Chain A
Amino acid sequence: MGTLGALFSVAYQSLRYRIGGVMLAIAAVAISVFVLLSVEHVRHEARSSFASTVSNVDLIVGARTGEINLLLLSIFRIGTPTANVAWESVEAIAEQPNVEWVVPISLGDSHKNFRVVGTTAEFFDRYMYGQSQPLTFQVGQRFDETSDVVVGSRVAAELGYALGDELILSHGMADTSFTHHDQVSFSITGLLAPTGTPVDNALFVSLEAIEAIHADEGETESSTDGSPGYVKAHEEDEEHVEHGQHDETKHHDEHAHHGEHKEHEDEHAHHDEHEEQEHKGEHADHDEHEEYTHHEEHEHEDEHGHHDERNEHEDEHGHHDEHEEHSDHHGHDHPPLGTVTAILVGLDSPGVTLQVQRRINEYTDEALLAILPGFTLAQLWSLVGGVENVLRGISVLVFISALFGLNAMMLASMRERKREIEILRSIGAPSLFIVALLVIESLLVVTLGIVLALAGLIGAILVVNNLLASELGIMLSLQVLYSSSFIALALIYLTTLILSLVPAWRAYAAAHSYSSGVEIN
């Protein structure tokens, strides 16, 4: 055996000799490395699954709110629609150069706490997740008729729905909506396969179905005060026409000055009443009032005048919270008929994304906001990034304690090792051999711990994947080492090296004081 071979052989036999303490040290290292690597893994998986919530969509367009608000609403369906996009804008965007497809989304209704998404059948072709994975059906197909509904996998699993089941969609968000009624029933035409995205938690119906829910609602509600909903709808239509004229004549002007209430008042007489009520209360009341008024009586106006006003209020007063609060109370958050909540936009070339985004943001007929989903997802992730740092901090602390444990074990064994070291010295072992022996023993312990941790992590992922795949459609990657993990592992080795040099140095010092073991007599 060469000196190096001898070194490893002695180190190995020395570790075997101390197997009990060594096993404990290996276990301590393995557990802490396991924690460290799993936190890293979960962090990466969370980030990548988060980032792959939506793919293939180049832009998301909505009424002008915050970018993250729009993303949360349109993709995660968190929050409530506070402003809507007129159908005319949908058409205008679809006609933009470079725009290949548009898929409108209408939100605001729910079914047993799951969100109902009104969209076009094209949604199932266009919406993708992960690495451009299309939505697939477990069974059935996309909606065709107004009374058809497609349900996400978790909705189906949790509510026990099967193909062909009939269900009622309620109007509004709250489960116990005041306007809950049993008139509009839908039948399930398709169950989506699990995606691990918010798609799993939603029900999908056609835009016409959303309109039907609300038209129907108008009927039942207005029947209580004696006037049939249809008539009301007609009245609204008339108003709509009226506003249509405004559109042509004054719209540009109006938009040029958004931010000034007076402008609106001048243009729309009925706004006066509106504004008056609004100013009586606090600004928070304004939103409530506005929501209420709009949705119940002036739904069609919304798309023409009130958007700007509303946006101003948001911008000026930061009333997002109030919006949502009040919306929840009332449970009337669906867009007015003829409007949508957001538009998913696909472009024919990725190079023009920013150009189209700017064009949409500068669209003059309506205040619109276009966001890049990937970019905004990253922004959103950076908001929740604090949590991952906390996790990281914990795993680093766990690891440091394990390293100290390892070193403590080495130091504790120094007493008995002192004699071994004297023997080694007496037969001519160089100091370097003794230092290397102790360092190699530490590194072997750490290496075994890391190998054990990796094996454990991969094993755990395989087990968890079996559960996750069937339940959530998520598969954790078996790629458990990232560049950050390599840095962590390198740091582990470095600190082990440094820490093991402490007992090694003590051994070296002991080797130079030829006393005990010989002078015990």
Chain B
Amino acid sequence: MNPQENITAAIDIKELVFRFGPGLEPVLTIPSWRVEAKQRVFLQGNSGSGKSTLLGILAGLRTPSSGSVSVLDTQISSLSGRKRDAFRAQHIGVVFQQFNLIPFLSVLDNILLAGQFAGRASRANKARALELIDRVNLEPRLAGRKAEQLSIGQQQRVAIVRALFNSPSLLLVDEPTSALDHANKESFLRLLNEVLDDTNCAMVFVSHDPSIGEMFEDRVALDDLNQSGGTH
């Protein structure tokens, strides 16, 4: 199992059903959805459409009620909890809309902690972290700052660094720009795409905002995928 090489699909969903509890109406019913390796997909979904739930399933933080979810050619729902954690740490990067960093840890520690869970050797990590910090146009002196001392825009850029630090094969991004103003939004998206160009990483970018989708070649609306109707 080495998803880094020769991945056939970043995501391959078949007959996914997810409900929050037994007997409840399913929130998600996705007969089929596939994201190729290195593909960048914009997933448009309104608030409450179940997009965060879908991301949770893709990240292995939730398990589907039924169906098969293959992430990087791995049946993620069949892994044990511990293996899912390790899989996530090594192969999946996650960026949330706002709260991405542990507020009391320094920027550097936030990044290195992600490396820690991926089981990476630590000596080279610091240099790599500083390199990536520079890559997202943050001043090196910010590395030692507590995360909470940074602006939201700065925090989101650190979040990209952290998400990509372990060289994941899949990046899951959930409304990362919703807390940013228009100028920051654009520069953030540009930066994200630039950084991804250096990697072989696939991306699922989730937003309610269709205007962002214009920057993506591949776009899909969750409502089209999800036959549950997104009443959640």
Contacts and interface: CB of A to CB of B under 8 A. Distances in A.
A17 B101 CA distance: 14
B56 A10 contact: no
A433 B105 CA distance: 16
Contact of B103 (A6, A17, A430, A511): A17
Contacts of A430: 81-82, 85-86, 117
Given A9-B109, A521-B208, A426 B101 contact: no
A427 interface: yes
A427 B105 CA distance: 14
A514 interface: yes
Contacts, number: 96
Contacts of A428: 85-90, 92, 114, 117-118
A419 B103 CA distance: 10
A15 to B, nearest CB: 9
A1 B61 contact: no
Contact of A518 (B103, B114, B174, B208): B174
Contact of A14 (B55, B62, B94, B104): B104
A174 B89 CA distance: 86
Interface string B26-70: 000000000000000000000100001101100101100000000
B73 interface: no
A419 B99 contact: yes
B167 to A, nearest CB: 13
B99 A13 contact: no
Nearest to B55: A518
Contacts of A3: 116
B99 to A, nearest CB: 5
Contacts of A423: 96, 99-102
A39 B212 CA distance: 68
Contacts of B102: 10, 420, 423-424
Contacts of B52: 514-515, 518-519, 521
Nearest to B172: A426
A1 B104 contact: no
Contacts of B105: 10, 13
B97 interface: yes
Contact of A10 (B86, B90, B113): B113
A216 B47 CA distance: 109
Interface residues of A, number: 33
Interface string B179-190: 000000000000
A394 interface: no
B97 A518 contact: yes
Q: How large is the interface on B (under 10, 10 to 19, 20 to 34, 35 or more residues)?
A: 35 or more
B47 A521 contact: yes
A42 to B, nearest CB: 41
A246 interface: no
Given A514-B52, A514-B56, A429 B117 contact: yes
A427 B117 contact: yes
A508 to B, nearest CB: 10
Given A10-B105, A428-B85, A431-B81, A517 B117 contact: no
A13 B109 CA distance: 11
A429 B85 contact: yes
Interface string A501-516: 0000000000111110
A521 B97 contact: yes
A168 B101 CA distance: 85
Contacts of B82: 430-432
Interface in B99-128: 99-105, 109, 112-114, 116-118, 122
B96 A426 contact: yes
Nearest to B207: A521
A518 B116 contact: no
Contacts of A112: none
Interface string A1-40: 1010010011001101100000000000000000000000
Interface in A206-237: none
A426 B85 contact: no
A161 B85 CA distance: 81
Interface in A409-432: 419-420, 422-432
Contacts of A433: 117
B96 A1 contact: no
Contacts of A521: 47, 52, 97, 175, 178, 208
B104 A17 contact: yes
A6 B114 CA distance: 11
Nearest to B90: A428
Contacts of A513: 62
Given A14-B104, A521-B175, A514 B116 contact: no
B162 interface: yes
- In this complex, the member of A9, A427, A517 whose beta carbon has the largest number of chain B beta carbons within 10 angstroms is A427
A389 B174 CA distance: 60
Nearest to A420: B102
Q: Max chain A CB contacts within 10 Å: which of B62, B82, B96?
A: B96
Nearest to A516: B52
Interface in B171-204: 174-175, 178
Given A517-B96, A518-B55, A521-B97, A425 B114 contact: no
A1 B174 contact: no
Nearest to B174: A518
A504 to B, nearest CB: 15
B175 A1 contact: no
20 contacts: A3-B116, A6-B116, A9-B109, A17-B103, A17-B104, A420-B103, A424-B113, A426-B88, A427-B89, A427-B117, A428-B86, A428-B89, A428-B90, A428-B118, A429-B113, A433-B117, A518-B52, A518-B96, A520-B97, A521-B47
Given A425-B85, A518-B97, A521-B47, 6 more contacts: A1-B112, A1-B116, A427-B88, A428-B117, A430-B81, A513-B62
Interface of A: 1, 3, 6, 9-10, 13-14, 16-17, 419-420, 422-433, 511-515, 517-521
Interface of B: 47, 52-53, 55-56, 59, 61-62, 81-82, 85-90, 92, 94, 96-97, 99-105, 109, 112-114, 116-118, 122, 162, 174-175, 178, 208
In the A-B complex, the 5 residue pairs with the smallest Cβ-Cβ separation, listed nearest first, are A428-B89, A17-B104, A514-B56, A514-B61, A428-B117
